[in-house]
């Protein structure tokens, strides 16, 4: 009899714990997010697709701390949620901003993105204001083809992406980096990096009315 009661209790405990867990608190405008006055996504989206954008800068120490957290977090997003990263795009001559788009174009972000943060903020293999040639030389050590990277760095597509990034940053009234925007409509607030990721995921999966 005691054994049967213990088995029944073991089966019921997980159910009672699940029933007792509180529902996530609803997001609050002005606390968790701001509504953008000029909505618009960074890039066109497919039907049913939700865009999350993080605006970052390689020289920003906060972005350097945030970057590996974002990389881990994005793997848990639903398949209809697409994460896009972009520098602000304000300075078309900025080698680091152009380097992000150039690496994106030739498909080497997996080699260069996190490593660029580390090279600037930890290893000091790159100065905060590197030249094109310094970036090319460093990326070559990561396994990037120097000729392909340099061609992309100087190419028209990178300049087009810089211009699109600038227009997006102006439209969202970029307050600083890192900044996250969901569906081109909501700018994420939050009290910590973890909070920003929680709010961004909630806005993408359960948007406000």
Report the pLDDT value the prediction gives residue 19, as an integer from 0 to 100: 45
Would residue 1 count as lying in a domain? no
111 in Cβ contact with 144 (< 8 Å): yes
Would residue 19 count as lying in a domain? no
119 in Cβ contact with 138 (< 8 Å): yes
Structure tokens at 147: 């000729």
> At 70, which CATH number?
3.40.30.10
Q: What is the pLDDT of residues 115-169, one digit of tens each?
A: 999 999 999 999 999 999 999 999 999 999 999 999 999 999 999 999 999 999 9
pLDDT band at 22 (very low <50, low <70, confident <90, very high): low
Report the pLDDT value the prediction gives residue 5, as an integer from 0 to 100: 41
- The count of domains in the chain is 1
Structure tokens at 63: 């972005």
Q: What is the pLDDT of residues 36-89, one digit of tens each?
A: 999 999 999 999 999 999 999 999 999 999 999 999 999 999 999 999 999 999
Report the pLDDT value the prediction gives residue 10, as an integer from 0 to 100: 47
Would residue 27 count as lying in a domain? no
Report the pLDDT value the prediction gives residue 209, as an integer from 0 to 100: 78
Report the pLDDT value the prediction gives residue 23, as an integer from 0 to 100: 63
pLDDT band at 11 (very low <50, low <70, confident <90, very high): very low
Q: How many C-beta atoms lie closer than 10 Å to residue 173's C-beta?
A: 12
Would residue 195 count as lying in a domain? yes
* pLDDT of residue 191 exceeding 50: yes
Would residue 11 count as lying in a domain? no
Would residue 24 count as lying in a domain? no
* pLDDT of residue 201 exceeding 50: yes
Would residue 66 count as lying in a domain? yes
Would residue 7 count as lying in a domain? no
User: Which structural domain range is residue 52 located in?
Assistant: 32-205
Task: Say how far apart CA 146 and CA 193 lie, in whole Å.
Answer: 35
Instruction: Please state whether the peptide bond connecting residue 190 to the residue before it is cis, i.e. omega within 30 degrees of 0.
Output: no
Three-state secondary structure call for residue 79: coil
Task: Say how far apart CA 123 and CA 133 lie, in whole Å.
Answer: 19
Report the pLDDT value the prediction gives residue 90, as an integer from 0 to 100: 97
């Amino acid at each position: 009899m005691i054994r049967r009661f213990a088995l029944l209790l073991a089966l019921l405990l997980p159910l009672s714990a699940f029933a007792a867990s509180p529902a996530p608190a609803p997001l609050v405008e002005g606390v968790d997010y701001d509504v953008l006055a000029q909505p618009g996504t960074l890039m066109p989206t497919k039907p049913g697709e939700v865009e999350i954008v993080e605006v970052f800068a390689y020289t920003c120490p906060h972005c350097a701390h945030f970057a590996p957290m974002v990389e881990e977090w994005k793997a848990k997003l639903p398949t209809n949620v697409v994460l896009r990263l972009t520098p602000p795009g304000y300075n078309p001559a900025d080698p680091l901003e152009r380097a992000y788009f150039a690496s994106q174009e030739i498909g080497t972000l997996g080699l260069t993105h996190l490593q660029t943060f580390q090279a600037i903020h930890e290893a000091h293999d790159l100065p905060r204001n590197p030249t094109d040639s310094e970036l090319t030389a460093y990326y070559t050590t990561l396994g990037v083809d120097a000729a392909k990277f340099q061609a992309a760095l100087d190419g028209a597509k990178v300049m087009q992406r810089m211009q699109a990034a600038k227009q997006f940053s102006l439209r969202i009234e970029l307050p600083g980096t890192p900044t996250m925007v969901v569906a081109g409509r909501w700018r994420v607030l939050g009290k910590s990096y973890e909070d920003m990721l929680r709010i961004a995921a909630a806005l993408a999966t359960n948007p406000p009315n």
